[in-house]
Chains A and B, each alone.
Chain A
Amino acid sequence: MRILFINNAGTGYADHLEIGEGTTVEQFFKIKMPNQNEADYLIRVNRQPVSRDYIIQEGDRVTFTPQKIEGARDNKPVVICAKR
């Protein structure tokens, strides 16, 4: 089963993934975000909040957005701001 996964904790780019039938959101979170706490994330499927036992469907768009994202004085990552 193919879904679209967006992890806003990382690069934020969308990935098409194959997952098993009957995978719940909770299971999927544990696979993709090991050692992370669900409470620290805004978890949405097709832009809507869902319960942890929601079974992901073919073509769903699953988004994980951290509740806490640290800003910084330096606006850009080193590799981008170090234009020469």
Chain B
Amino acid sequence: MDNRLLFKISLLISQKLTSLEKNTSIELLERLTKLAEHFRDMTQESRRIALALNRNWLFSAKRCRENLVRILDEIPYKIETIKQISNKDDQEGTPIVSLIFAELTQIRQEFSDADFNSDKRIISVVTKPVTLEDIYLGPFRIELYIDKLSSLYKESPYYCIALEPNPAANNGEVTHPHVSGETLCEGEGYVAIRAALEQGRMYDFFTIVNNILNTYSPDSPYVALDDWFGGADCYDCGSSISEDDSYYCGFCGRVFCSECSSYCRSCEESCCLGCGGHCPNCEEFICKNCLKVCQECGERYCNLCMEDSICETCKEQNETEELENTNETDGKQDNFKMAG
């Protein structure tokens, strides 16, 4: 990046931050309007209470009172947010171009591969490789979209892209315990990041984001580092399993790997090997719900190999016996006839 380009970027950032100031004022106005509407609701509710009392509608008065309490409860929150936005106006105005220029110069000196994409209007830097608790996550490219600075409080203007991604085994979108879908969850850094951007302190912004990427907060990660290589172990063989390879058995309520799991050929439900078995007739894997006991032989068969709670083998046997009995009976009948 030569100085001319840096100056051009500085000018662009300054313009966007001026728009941000305007947008902040618009937001303040919107919130004030909402607060005024809130007070109007309060007045209406108090009129309703008066009306209810005049007509001796005590139950209605009670309902109105409850509504009024709800309205009153929201007022401190609304005032607080308005104060927050108003206080921003107490800070210094839009940073001057020379200050932003100095910041960009500092970025160029301290971050490797600092770059400006003139088409997309992006400033990007590459961090040193990040390793947290001995897990290598690789370097990240922090991309700041200059055009998004004007709507800083509505959407995140930057992304953190893993250059040598080593995502969590359970979720390919999580390339860092605090990065999901290239968006950083800033936690403690939320306010400081916005303040830095708002004041044109671009160097501070990249430093803060870099420091968040180099810090692990075990209390609130997308995926804990302990579970980085697989959130669960197969209940049967104990091997670590990824989200794509984990199968839940609805019968025992446990998670298994693909090797220790199958699906029922009858109902098609996922089922672990322990909660199902092979039908002795067709030899297909069947869950325990679809395996039925044959009333004749007591063996377990799948639905498809059973008819009227009798397995095919027993059925055939019965039919043969029946046929034989019929023949015998026919013989007896003949005998009877003959005797008669």
A residues apposed to B, CB below 8 Å: 6, 8-14, 42, 47, 63, 65-77, 79-80, 82, 84
In residues 90-146 of chain B, which contact A (Cβ within 8 Å)? 91-92, 102-103, 106
Q: Are B190 and A75 in contact (CB under 8 A)?
A: yes
Cα of A82 to Cα of B84 in the assembled complex, Å: 14
A12 touches which of B80, B193, B217 (Cβ 8 Å): B193
Q: Are B193 and A71 in contact (CB under 8 A)?
A: no
Q: A8-B192, A66-B211, A77-B191 are in contact. Are A71 and B102 (CB under 8 A)?
A: no
Q: Which residues of A contact B177 (CB under 8 A)?
A: 71
A69 touches which of B80, B187, B199 (Cβ 8 Å): B187
Smallest Cβ-Cβ distance to B191: which chain A residue? A11
Q: Which residues of A contact B12 (CB under 8 A)?
A: none
Smallest Cβ-Cβ distance to A49: which chain B residue? B110
Q: Which residues of A contact B80 (CB under 8 A)?
A: 79
Q: Which residues of B contact A74 (CB under 8 A)?
A: 185, 187, 220
Q: Are A71 and B103 in contact (CB under 8 A)?
A: no
Q: Which residues of A contact B156 (CB under 8 A)?
A: 75
Q: Which residues of B contact A10 (CB under 8 A)?
A: 191-192
Q: Are A75 and B186 in contact (CB under 8 A)?
A: yes
Known: A11-B195, A69-B187, A74-B187. 17 other contacts (CB 8 A): A8-B208, A12-B194, A12-B195, A14-B92, A14-B195, A14-B199, A47-B103, A65-B211, A66-B211, A70-B188, A71-B189, A71-B220, A71-B221, A72-B187, A72-B220, A77-B191, A84-B77
Number of interface residues of B (CB under 8 A): 43
Q: Are A8 and B185 in contact (CB under 8 A)?
A: no
Instruction: Please give the distance in Å from B133's CB to the nearest CB on chain A.
Output: 13
Instruction: Please give the distance in Å from A47's CB to the nearest CB on chain B.
Output: 5
In residues 152-186 of chain B, which contact A (Cβ within 8 Å)? 156, 177-178, 183-186
Q: Which residues of A contact B81 (CB under 8 A)?
A: 79-80
Smallest Cβ-Cβ distance to A70: which chain B residue? B217
Q: Which residues of A contact B201 (CB under 8 A)?
A: 6
Q: Chain A's interface: helix, strand, loop or mixed, by majority?
A: loop
Q: A68-B214, A69-B187, A70-B187 are in contact. Are A13 and B91 (CB under 8 A)?
A: yes
Q: Which residues of A contact B184 (CB under 8 A)?
A: 71
Q: Are A71 and B212 in contact (CB under 8 A)?
A: yes
Cα of A80 to Cα of B77 in the assembled complex, Å: 10
Q: Which residues of A contact B221 (CB under 8 A)?
A: 71, 73
- Interface presence of B263 (CB below 8 A): no
Q: Are A71 and B196 in contact (CB under 8 A)?
A: no
Q: Are B185 and A75 in contact (CB under 8 A)?
A: yes
Cα of A67 to Cα of B217 in the assembled complex, Å: 13
Q: Are B192 and A72 in contact (CB under 8 A)?
A: no
Q: A8-B196, A47-B106 are in contact. Are A72 and B208 (CB under 8 A)?
A: no
A71 touches which of B91, B185, B199, B203 (Cβ 8 Å): B185
Smallest Cβ-Cβ distance to A7: which chain B residue? B192
Cα of A16 to Cα of B220 in the assembled complex, Å: 35
Q: A6-B201, A12-B193, A13-B91 are in contact. Are A71 and B178 (CB under 8 A)?
A: yes
Q: Are B103 and A79 in contact (CB under 8 A)?
A: no
Q: Which residues of B contact A66 (CB under 8 A)?
A: 211
Cα of A73 to Cα of B221 in the assembled complex, Å: 6
B195 touches which of A13, A47, A68, A72 (Cβ 8 Å): A13
24 contacts between A and B (CB under 8 A): A6-B201, A8-B204, A9-B192, A11-B192, A12-B193, A12-B194, A12-B195, A12-B208, A14-B92, A42-B211, A65-B204, A66-B211, A67-B215, A68-B211, A69-B192, A69-B208, A71-B189, A72-B188, A72-B219, A74-B185, A74-B187, A75-B156, A75-B185, A79-B77
Q: A47-B203, A68-B215 are in contact. Are A12 and B191 (CB under 8 A)?
A: yes
Q: Are B217 and A71 in contact (CB under 8 A)?
A: yes
Smallest Cβ-Cβ distance to B189: which chain A residue? A69
